[in-house]
Amino acid sequence: MFVTTRFCIVMLLVLCAAGVARAAEGEPAATAGTIFTFWPLVDYRDSPADGFRSLSILGPLFKWQQRGEDRELALRPFFFRTEDAHRQTVDTTYLYPLAATHESPEMSRADFLNIFSTATFRKGEGEEEEPGTQFLPFYSSGISKKYGPYTAVAPFYGTLYERFWRDEIHFVLFPLYSRTVKKGTTTRHFLYPFVSITEGERESGFDVWPLYGQSAKEGVYQKRFVLWPLYWQETTEMDTESPTESLFLLPFYTSSVSPTRTSRYVLWPFFGHMVDSKAGEEKWDILWPFYQTLRGPERSATRVFPFYYDYRDREQERTWYLWPVYNHEAFWSEHYRMEKTRVLSYLFWDKQESWRDGTTRRWSALWPFYVYSRDPRGVKSLSIPAPVEPVLNRDGIDRSWAPFWRLYQQRWNDQGDSAVSFLWNLYWHEVRGEELAYELFPLVAYRSTEEQRNLRFLKGLVGYRNERGRKILSFLWLPFGISWGESEPGSTAAAVKGAGGVR
C-alpha cells in the first residue's frame, strides 16, 4: 500500500506538470479542468467546479477517485475501499467476496466468508446489536445484554446466549451432551438428536428419535410420534379459541382440524383439500405440486405445473408460464411498487421500482450481453458484456470484478449529457451541455467549449486550436505554433470543464 501511495503521488506531480504545460498553451486547466490520458497506462481527469478527481492506471486495475469529500481506492480485484464523508463510514472489501471490513462512529466490523467475523461497538452505541467474534463452526464469543458474556469452542465446551432461536445453549463434547433453554423450557440432548428430555413449568417430554417421542404442556399442547415421520399426532394452541388437532399417517392420510380451518390429504401428495372458514378460503391439491387451486376474498391461486401459475392478493401478484420460461412478479404498498420479469430464469431480467413521489428506478440484463440501469436521478447506464451480473447482481461484483470485462460502457441523462468508454477509454466520448470531448488514442483527440475548439493528432504531433477566431497550428508537441486571426472581444480560453469517459 505504501508503494502504491508513493506511485500515486508521483503520478499526481506528473499530472500537475501536464496541467502547467496546458496553461502555457492557453488552456487554464487549473480552473476549468484537466484530462490527461496515455492509454492504457494512465487516465487522469479532474473538474474543480464539480469537486471531482479521478486517476486510473492500467485500465481497470488501479483506481483512485474523489468526489467532494467522498473517496474510492481500488486495486482490482484484490482491494476496494470507499469513504463516505457524510455518514463517516469506511467500507473495504478484499478479493470480494473473501473478506470485508466496516468502520463507522458506531462500530467496527470484519468478516471473512461469513466464517470468521468480529464486531466492536463504540461506547454508548450498538444498543440493538451485540459485539462478538465468530469463527464458525469452531469458535464463537460475545456479550448478551440480558445474560452477559459467553464463549463456545466447538465441539468441546461452550455457552451461547440468544443465538440460533434459543435463549441459552450449553454443550460439552457435542453431540454427546447439550442443553437448550427457550422461554423457560429446558431440553437436554444426549447424542443429539437421538435422545432428549424436556422440562418446564407444567411441561415435560422425551424423545428416542426416530422410534418414539412425546411431550406436553398442560393446557397448551400435546405431541407424540412413532417411527417419525410415519406417525405423528399433536394438539396445539389449546390455550386459544382455535385449538388445532393434527394427525400424520404418512403417506396414507394427514389432517389438521380446528374450529376455523380444516385440511386433509389422502395418499399425500396425491389428493388434498383445505377449507378456512375464517378467511373464506378453499384450496384443492391434486398430485402436489402439479395442480393446485386456491379461492378466497383476499387471495386466489391456480397452478398447473410446469405450464401455468397465477397468484394474487391485495399486495402482490405472481405469474409464470412454462416454468422457467416466463415469470412475472409485482409487489406494492401505499408508497411503493415493484415489478420483476424473468425469462429462462437468469437469461433475462427486468426490474422496475416506483415510489409515490414519482421517483423510479430500473435494472435489466440479458445474459451474457448487457446490463442496463436507470437510477432515481434519471441517470441511465449500459454495460457490455455481462457474463456474471445477471446471475449475481452484487455491489461487490460491480466494483471489484465487472470493470475487467466491461468493454463498452455508456451513461447518459435526459438533459443530453453522456459519457462513453470503449476498451477502458481507448476511445471515450463525453458531452456536457455545450461542451464536447472525445479521443481515440493515440490518433485523434477533440475538445470544444463556447470559448475554443481544440483538435490534436497523435497526442499533439499536429494540433489545431481556435479561440474565438484566433487560430493556432502547432507541431511536434510544442507549446507554441503558427497563429493567425484575432480573438473576438471578451474571449477567455477555457478547457473542457469535466472529465471524459465513464468513471
Which residue bears the cell 474565438?
468
What b/e sequence results for 333-355 when a residue is b if at least 16 CB atoms lie within 10 Å of its CB, and e otherwise? eeeeeebbbbeeeeebbbbbbbe
Q: Please tell me the number of Cα atoms within 13 Å of 487 on its side-chain side.
A: 14
Q: Name the more confident of 47 and 89.
A: 89
**Contact (Cβ atoms closer than 8 angstroms) between residue 430 and residue 412:** no
394, exposed or middle or buried, with CB in 10 Å at 0-12, 13-18, 19+? middle
| pLDDT for the residue 12 | 47
DSSP state letters, 36-59: EEETTTEEEEEEGGGTEEEEEETT
| pLDDT for the residue 17 | 41
C-alpha cell at 312: 394474487
Average pLDDT of the residues of the chain: 88
Measured distance CA(485)–CA(467) in Å, rounded: 10
Instruction: Give 36-51 pLDDT, tens digit per residue.
Output: 999 999 999 998 888 8
Q: What are phi and psi of 214, to 5 degrees?
A: -150, 150
Q: Which of 431, 459, 432 is nearest to 443 (CA)?
A: 459
**Contact (Cβ atoms closer than 8 angstroms) between residue 289 and residue 283:** no
Looking at the predicted structure, is the pLDDT value of residue 14 above 70?
no
Instruction: Give 416-458 pLDDT, tens digit per residue.
Output: 999 999 999 999 999 988 889 999 999 999 999 888 899 999 9
Measured distance CA(309)–CA(306) in Å, rounded: 8
Looking at the predicted structure, is the pLDDT value of residue 387 above 60?
yes
Instruction: Give 297-344 pLDDT, tens digit per residue.
Output: 999 999 999 999 999 999 999 999 999 999 999 999 999 999 999 999
Q: Please tell me the number of Cα atoms within 13 Å of 32 on its side-chain side.
A: 20
Per DSSP bridges, beta strands 107-112 and 116-121 are antiparallel
**Contact (Cβ atoms closer than 8 angstroms) between residue 42 and residue 59:** no
- Cα dihedral 418, 422, 424, 425 in deg (nearest 10): -60
Q: Which of 101, 60, 95 is nearest to 83 (CA)?
A: 101
DSSP state letters, 183-219: TTEEEEEETTTTEEEEEETTEEEEEETTTEEEEEETT
| pLDDT for the residue 121 | 79
Instruction: Give me the mean pLDDT over the 135-151 stretch.
Output: 89
C-alpha distances in Å from residue 268, one per residue of 13, 251, 273, 286, 295: 76, 5, 11, 9, 21
Looking at the predicted structure, is the pLDDT value of residue 31 above 60?
no
One-letter identity of residue 497 = K
| pLDDT for the residue 451 | 83
Which residue bears the cell 433475462?
348
Q: To the nearest whole percent, how much of the chain has pLDDT over 90?
A: 73
Instruction: Give 209-249 pLDDT, tens digit per residue.
Output: 999 999 999 999 999 999 999 999 999 999 999 999 999 99
Q: What are phi and psi of 162, to 5 degrees?
A: 55, 50
Which residue bears the cell 390429504?
265
* Confidence label for 130 from pLDDT (cuts 50, 70 and 90): low
Instruction: Give me the mean pLDDT over the 274-292 stretch.
Output: 94
Contacts of 10 (CB under 8 A, 6+ apart): none
